[in-house]
Structure 1
Amino acid sequence: MSFQSLHRREPDSAKTSLTMDMDKSYHGCDQNLDLKKAYCSNKGLKTVPQNLSGDTKVLDLSYNIITKLLNSSFKVYPLINSLDISFNDIRVIESAAFYPLKGLMNLSLFYNQRIVLPATSVFMMSSQLSFLDLTETNLTSLPNDTLKWSPHLDTVILFRNRLSSINVSSCGMHANIVIMTSNQLKHLTAEYFTFVCHTDILDLRDNPIQSVDPDVIASLHVRFLNLGACRLSDEVLANIILGISKSDIEGVTIQQGSVGAFPEGFFDPLNPFLSFFPPAIFRQLSVLQELNLEYCAITNLHPLVFSGLESLQKLSLEGNNIQHIHDDALSGLGQINSINFKGNQIEYLGELMFSNKWKVTNLSLADNKLTHLNRRTFKPIFSSISLLDISMNPIDCNCDLKWLIDWINKPIRTLIDKDKTICSSESLERFREKPLLDVDPNELCIINGLLFLIPLASIGLVVISVLLYHYRWQLRYKLFLLKLAAVGYKEMRDARDHNEYEFDVNIIFYDDDEEWIREQLRPALEERLPQFQRNVCGDDDLVLGMHYLDSVDYVVSHSYKTIIVLSRAAVQDRWFILKFRTAMDHVSDTLTEFVVVVFLEDIPDDEMPFLARLYLNDGRPYIHWTEDMRGQEYFWDELTKTLTINLRTNDLIPNE
């Protein structure tokens, strides 16, 4: 069958009319011929423009008034791999509209509220499709073969539609995540729900589920299943658990409401199953690895509630009303490594709560009512904990907390939300409303102890001793500077140059900052460092054929220099922070300062991510962009100098 034969035959009059419509559409788009990108957003377009560059790979048609995607709409752009048609008014998609786009990888139809998909084969030629967004398209049905033709499909978003049934019995993909949140799915039964795709995460939250067939749950080929947000009945919950027990599902989230969605105690009289879980309710889920019971209005935990969860690694009970945890409640969780009790009403922890929990690495007790923390309670997890969150608790800071402060100050430990971990008003006077990490119990506790043991004549000596101890690190720092001034310091340079690497410069930035990269950074590099020809600029230049994070890791490790561009928008993006972490990890592994951070703007302290704080605290190289012309000249000179050499890391020189 020829390509032309796949198009629906139009009457000559209709064909002429459509051609005239397209000819009249002057696009007025912005094109980057080097990057093969066309930006047609918010141009008032009624049809797909036909006079763009034929080798366009990225086409943005968002925020227009396009109503139809014809079989001929993209025929002149066969190389498109990323297409954004969000926020239009598309009502008709002809069956072969996307056939010319055989290399299409990313497609967004977000917020086209009158779409009707063709009954079949709409993505038949899209074998490279990896991202499909159909959010808020008002879909009432999903053609059976929608996910059949794209074996590389990674993410499918069907958020906020009107789907009341799913019949996907043919699937050619193994997706990372499929989101069906906020639809009208009422019955997870064989008649209304068939989904054969293999996927890591299937998100069915915020659907008014009224009945569940355990065999349907058992037939799902998913690793993690998310349910809830709309209230689930006891029978539905029981059938979900029974279905999971028959499956290979590793993690499940059962959420009985989002934050602030229901008043306190709303579920208590309606659903005793949730407010008090019966013992061994999860006994059949011996292979389950992750269990989230967030915002379920749970008030009590039976000592045997988690018995049988032999493989469980992550447990989250965030946002409930738990006041007390029995010592034996976690006793059967031998493989547990992450526990989250954030946002409950816990007032104290038993001494045996973490007995035999040698593998716990992440623990959150934030936003509870803890006033005292017993050393014996935490002793079993002293050596394993790496991430701890005890913020937003009314902690009574006194001399008895010296062990806690010493423990969380260990280098292998990270305290989450340090600024919100403060001493309560009931603490010793000098500690009140003070961040816990700023408290030095020795400063007051030792004095208070000695006041009862030594005569008043020796108080002055004790005060001097305490001050010297308190400022010992500052004194050592001054002595180090004195030694540095006398002896001098020789920079240790990496002997390798940029020609020994696969790439010269790798630039990591957030999409919103691409204009600055294009208009400022790239022209400056071409002018000042013409010898740097093998540059990687953002995600578009990553190595094809590799997993996204693997490709990021590969480029970072094979680049002579990596520039990380920080802005307020960038630090809010999870994927950007993951790439930042990858670069920092390679600095630690290679002991080479090959990373330089560029701050495009001032970032408030409360928005500065932990990774950026850690980078600055370690004295790593960074430069701040300015709008001042003289300041910009200094900026480019400093950046050019930094990019031409790689120094070896030297952590012996402390920061002021």
Structure 2
Amino acid sequence: LDLSGNEITRLQPHPLFYNLTVLKIVNLKFNKISNLCESNLTSFRGKHFLYFSLSSNNLYKTDEMAWVKCPNPFRNITFDSLDLSGNGWSTEKVQYFTTAIKGTQISSLIFRSHTMGSGFGFNNLKNPDNDTFAGLARSDVRLLDISTGFIFSLNSLTFQSLRNLELLNLFKNKINQIQRQAFFGLGNLKTLNLSSNLLGELYDYTFSGLHSVMLIDLQQNHIGMISENAFRNLVTLEMIDLRDNAIKKLPSFAHVTSAFLGDNKLMSITGTAIAATYIDLERNWLANLGDLYILFQVPSVQYIFLKQNRFSYCVKSSNVIENSQLVYMDLGENMLQLVWERDLCLDVFRALSKLQVLHLNNNYLSVLPQEIFRGLTSLKRLNLASNLLSYLSPGLFPQSLTNLNLSANQLYSPEPEVFMTLSILDITHNKYVCDCTLKNLLVWLNETNVTLAGSQADRYCVYPPAFEGVALSSLTYDDCSEDELQQALRFSIFIFTSVTLLLFLMAVIIFTRCRGICFIWYKTITKKMIDGHPQVADESEYKYDAYLCYSKKDFEWVQNSLLKHLDSQYFDKNRFTLCFEERDFLPGEEHINNIRDAIWNSRKTICVVTRQFLKDGWCVEAFNFAQSRYFCDLKDVLIMVVVGSLSQYQLMKYKPIRNFLQRSRYLRWPEDHQDVDWFLNNLSYQILKEKKVQRKATGIELQTVATVSH
């Protein structure tokens, strides 16, 4: 009986419902029922419902007095599944209800989308305690779903009355604390779901009392620290899911058969006791390929998932045991090229005689060591897609291999004898050179019984240009015996390559020696092509285009190098109105006030950082003032110009400069005189560019939007 989505406000079925002896499912979801009394459901007495839903109604309006006046509304009714989700019940409301229905047999009780709990940062609302579910002691509840709520703390003895409970779902609450004996009484619990909460640590006592638990789901929490003995006493535990947390050290799992630890921050797996058959370590920070030798020591491990880690070096700590049971391993999306190009850990697969599937895709592999697959006598499927392989030597792959994926590599003219043992082959999206050296492969492709994965159009020529994009299946090789054609092609390639290389070298030499002149020509041509007028800063808002901050000891250099080329009072064709101390500061005014007025009346502030600047306290104070506009005006107005041989280390010693460098770049005065014009042009552009900082309401910086004034 489906009566969901109506306007029912009062539930009192007609006596004729008593005659519906085979009625098993009643759905009253999305109505407006606000009260339940014993007299309401007399027509349902004696029935056993497989599913009875009162979810998303207005039962939150039933107060304590109503539950006292109305005895058990479900008297003489039993349920396989009773759904009371989305009724807005607080901890007190749930306690009133469970007390009222005391003794009613319910196998599965669902309170999903409730309001129980204090939530994060609040203390005025109550978390469930030892009285909340006490009324269910004789209800034989096997499944309790209190997911999607605001429970912050699991208090002691909260579930002590639910001794037959087998599944407890606490998904998507705000659980941050699990008190001692929180799970006391749950000796028969098989499945515990604590995913999508706010847990940060797991202690020795966290899971105390769960003598029969087989699966614990802890994914999508904030777990960073796990006690050494957190799982030691869970002798029946078979599966643990800790994905998407912040774990840095692999915990010990003495009894687990399946361990899901992907999306964490694991950097090493040394010193861990684990006996799992299925180990998921995807998307962690593992960088030492030598850790694999430790994983191979696990006697019963059969499946290992390690894709999207950072394997880039190898320090062996042990050797692989000879009787490894491993049958599946995923090492995709790592950096194994960096390991094998240094001839490190070339025996990593040597003892994996039972391995059947191996993924090595997206590992930047350009060359495969000749003996790398020796020992893989049972290997059937090998994935080498999306690497940089250009050549495959005969005898590289084991004789047992039947399925090989080489798509998206850089194979030019592979020899067909490499593929003789295969049943399935994918060589799509490679960079085939379609000359007569490809003849053997073309003949083999036309005659082989091997199943070729992908479309024929995805096996195409890349070179020479005349054949670019042509499918291999449409090529003919009748003329490949004529040496003249090959010689002419080779000579053309030689001439083209030589001329291109010569022109490139000439361009590099000319640019290196005469880049200053080239820049002047570029600026001259650009001005003539546009309108011949220099870009002028908008004067509607600021008195000055830029305030020039420097040490007094550097004034002569600043005047000759910057003011004479930028300030309009020094030269009429200069575009900017600059502010600097010797000319524009008011005599008799406080120096700090002059600095402040100069910064706030200028579009930008240019700090000429030299050794003298770093020693001048007023200069550093001005630097701080300029940075403050970043937060007050939401504008990045500070331009830092480093002059002289100041190193990054010397600059980072000063906190204001260090803070600036963490979010912005600085300009460095060129050592070569021919680069000065380019530098001044770049500095002018920085003065004109408007950088606005966008923020969310929380104050977190999102991005910098740059515009240029015209």
Q: With the length of structure 1 as denominator, give the TM-score of the two structures.
A: 0.48
Kindly name which structure, 1 or 2, has the bigger radius of gyration based on alpha carbons: 2
Q: With the length of structure 2 as denominator, give the TM-score of the two structures.
A: 0.45
